[in-house]
């Protein structure tokens, strides 16, 4: 009996040590993941700042400098009004990207419609929104969801060569489900993880969302995101 008791104690001790080691390993992995996520977040923020700086320098300031030269040389045959309109539109777009107007008071549904409105002339856009429970979406989650949506549409505009965009926003069992589908040329997710795709993955991680991309050459891309409210 004594030997049996000793064996049981020894086994318990081994199991306890193993459990402690496993918990410590999980803790270290979680800490490593959070550290990498933080570094990636800072890196992406810096890249986004650089992108906005280029937008300001190359587009907005470039057009305004042209207007200034025209005024200094007193040339009436240059379309100053067109340059000014382009400058205003550029400034409005950059401002909207940085902070959408009336963001706090607008629902995610309204933000999506507002963002897509100027694109109807360039794309066939289909929007389906089924009972999105906007009142339950926290401000931070709404912001990340909207930024993900923005990034998806911007990628379609810049890279997909698509003619049609389908957007579906659903609310189901205390979850928000976002689907974005285009009929563009598609891409290889493993080969083309640029800033935009990294940003989508990062923001999804921050709100504990689950995402998936499905894409193939000349068939288009399907994006799926589900987030618990």
CATH numeric code, 100-229: 3.30.565.10
Phi/psi at 200 (nearest 5 deg)? -65, -45
Confidence of residue 37 (pLDDT cuts 50, 70, 90): low
166: its two tokens:
């389908």
Q: Which residues, listed in sequence order, are joined to residue 221 by a DSSP beta bridge?
A: 182, 215
Most confident among 49-63, 78-92, 106-120, 124-138 (mean pLDDT): 106-120
Query: Is pLDDT above 90 for 124?
Result: yes
pLDDT interval class at 225 (50, 70, 90): very high
Residue 11 has which token pair?
A: 């086994």
Q: Alpha carbon of 132 to those of 81, 135, 136, 172, 173: distances in Å? A: 42, 9, 9, 8, 11
How high is the pLDDT of residue 186?
82
User: What interhelical angle do 108-116 and 139-155 show, nearest 10?
Assistant: 20
pTM over the 0.85 mark? no
In terms of average pLDDT, the best of 31-40, 47-56, 118-127, 188-197 is: 118-127
Instruction: Give the span between the Cα atoms of 127 and 116, in whole angstroms.
Output: 9
């Amino acid at each position: 009996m004594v030997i049996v008791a000793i064996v049981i104690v020894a086994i318990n001790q081994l199991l306890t040590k193993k459990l402690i080691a496993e918990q410590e390993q999980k803790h270290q992995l979680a800490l490593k993941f959070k550290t990498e996520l933080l570094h990636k977040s800072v890196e992406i923020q810096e890249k986004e700042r650089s992108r906005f700086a280029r937008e300001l320098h190359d587009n907005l300031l470039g057009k305004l400098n042209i207007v200034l030269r025209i005024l200094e040389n007193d040339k009436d045959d240059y379309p100053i009004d067109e340059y000014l309109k382009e400058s205003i539109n550029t400034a409005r777009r950059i401002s909207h990207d940085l902070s959408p107007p009336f963001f706090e008071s607008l629902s995610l549904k309204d933000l999506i419609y507002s963002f897509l409105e100027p694109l109807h002339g360039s794309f066939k856009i289909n929007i389906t929104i089924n009972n999105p429970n906007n009142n339950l979406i926290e401000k931070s989650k709404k912001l990340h969801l909207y930024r993900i949506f923005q990034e998806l549409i911007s990628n379609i505009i810049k890279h997909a060569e698509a003619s049609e965009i389908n957007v579906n926003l659903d609310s189901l069992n205390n979850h928000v489900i976002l689907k974005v589908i285009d009929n563009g040329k598609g891409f290889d997710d493993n080969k083309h993880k640029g800033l935009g795709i990294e940003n989508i993955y990062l923001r999804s991680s921050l709100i504990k969302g689950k995402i998936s991309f499905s894409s193939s050459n000349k068939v288009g891309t399907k994006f799926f995101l589900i987030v618990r409210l």
